[in-house]
């Protein structure tokens, strides 16, 4: 896999070069020390992945990401020293197409090897998604038989529960989710669960940011949470969020080597198995195929499933896969999705 580095600090560039080249199958495509150079290099030689700094003089990582994704689109991973401090910019960059965010490794710090491992693990996951790295997991059901056995020992569902809407998103997802949630009324009766591909260290900031965009309450999903009307729960760890037979939420590591974490497919499979009421599922912009199979299972259960159309997607990967698989009941633009949810929620059987 050919990887480019965009960073204005020589020491960090060399550190990233050392981490990347520690994997024999990874090569450095080029290095840019400022945004304008990165745009020019990418136009001439588009790499498989760019490790993008967020804070740079003259042109920051948000603007560089926006221009590259318009002119020479490729996978972009934000590498920043302070994720919490730069969270607003990171959200904006992800809205323009950045896939994920990781912390910059720090030379000489005891956590350096841990940060190196996190960086390489994320690069490997992106490599699988874009087809540059071979997956290492066996072809098996997304939720293992052992995990299902544990889930089945729990209590059975209550009689009354709210309408349920599942939303899945990846590349460009934060901006798309904010657009939809901002148009929902404060008395919206449905419970919403969001599976957005994002790292654990970034999820709390995303929940807070989304909460500021909507009259609804947005929180991270916690162990044992129940689904409530007018409340939005966001998957908040690097494990997969699943619904249990008693309709409470929990997290599972299985499948451990699945590149999409948390996975839309894994959550949808658990919903299809345990949620007896029909609902709505929305698959938004994103690279890869996660969510296509999950939407199909829900559609077979009578759910109304929506895929975002190509014209309004930052990356038309996941919705395209869902449409090609016959998973989507209808294909809508981003501006049409909220109004459709509002109209249909009162008619969910």
Question: Annotated catalytic sites, by residue?
Answer: 170, 197, 290
Task: Please answer whether residues 167 and 181 qualify as being in contact, where contact means their C-beta atoms are separated by less than 8 angstroms.
Answer: no
Count Cβ atoms below 10 Å from residue 288 Cβ, excluding itself. 23
Q: How far apart are CA 70 and CA 72, in angstroms?
A: 6
CA–CA separation, 74 and 63 (whole Å): 15
The Cα 124–Cα 8 span in angstroms is 24
Are the C-beta atoms of residues 54 and 65 closer than 8 Å to each other? Answer: no
Q: Which two tokens stand for residue 217?
A: 């309450």
Q: Could you tell me if 35 and 63 are in contact, meaning their C-beta atoms sit under 8 angstroms apart?
A: yes
Report CA-CA distances (Å) from 244 to 196, 203, 224: 20, 22, 9
Local structure of 103: helix, strand or coil: strand
Q: Tell me if 90 sits within 8 A of 54, measured CB to CB.
A: yes
Query: Measuring CA to CA, which residue among 13, 45, 16 is closest to residue 29?
Result: 45
Alpha carbon 194 to chain centroid, angstroms: 9
């Amino acid at each position: 896999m050919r990887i480019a580095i965009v960073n204005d600090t020589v020491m960090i560039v060399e550190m990233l070069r050392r981490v990347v080249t520690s994997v024999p199958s990874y090569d450095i495509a080029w290095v840019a020390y400022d945004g304008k150079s990165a745009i020019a290099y990418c136009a001439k030689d588009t790499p498989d992945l760019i490790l993008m700094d967020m804070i740079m003089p003259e042109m920051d990582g948000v603007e560089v990401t926006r221009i590259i994704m318009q002119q020479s689109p490729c996978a972009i991973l934000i590498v920043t020293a302070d994720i919490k401090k730069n969270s607003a910019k990171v959200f904006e960059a992800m809205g323009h197409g950045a896939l994920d965010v990781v912390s910059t490794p720090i030379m000489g710090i005891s956590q350096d090897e841990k940060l190196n491992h996190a960086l390489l693990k994320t690069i490997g996951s992106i490599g699988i998604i874009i087809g540059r790295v071979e997956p290492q997991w066996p072809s098996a059901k997304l939720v293992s038989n052992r995990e299902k056995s544990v889930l089945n020992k729990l209590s059975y569902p209550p009689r009354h529960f709210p309408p349920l809407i599942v939303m899945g998103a990846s590349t460009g997802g934060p901006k798309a989710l904010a657009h939809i949630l901002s148009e929902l009324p404060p008395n919206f009766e449905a419970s919403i669960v969001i599976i957005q591909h994002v790292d654990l260290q970034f999820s709390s900031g995303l929940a807070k940011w989304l909460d500021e965009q909507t009259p609804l309450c947005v929180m991270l999903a916690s162990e044992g949470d129940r689904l409530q009307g007018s409340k939005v729960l966001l998957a908040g760890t690097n494990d997969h969020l699943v619904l249990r037979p008693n309709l409470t939420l929990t997290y599972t590591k299985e499948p451990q080597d699945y590149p999409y974490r948390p996975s839309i497919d894994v959550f949808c499979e658990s919903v299809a198995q345990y949620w007896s009421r029909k609902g709505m599922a929305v698959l938004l912009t994103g690279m890869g195929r996660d969510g296509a199979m999950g939407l199909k299972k829900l559609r077979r259960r009578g759910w109304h499933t929506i895929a975002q159309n190509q014209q309004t997607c930052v990356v038309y990967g996941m919705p395209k896969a869902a449409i090609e698989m016959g998973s989507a009941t209808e294909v809508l633009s981003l501006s049409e999705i909220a109004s459709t949810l509002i109209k249909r929620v009162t008619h969910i059987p």
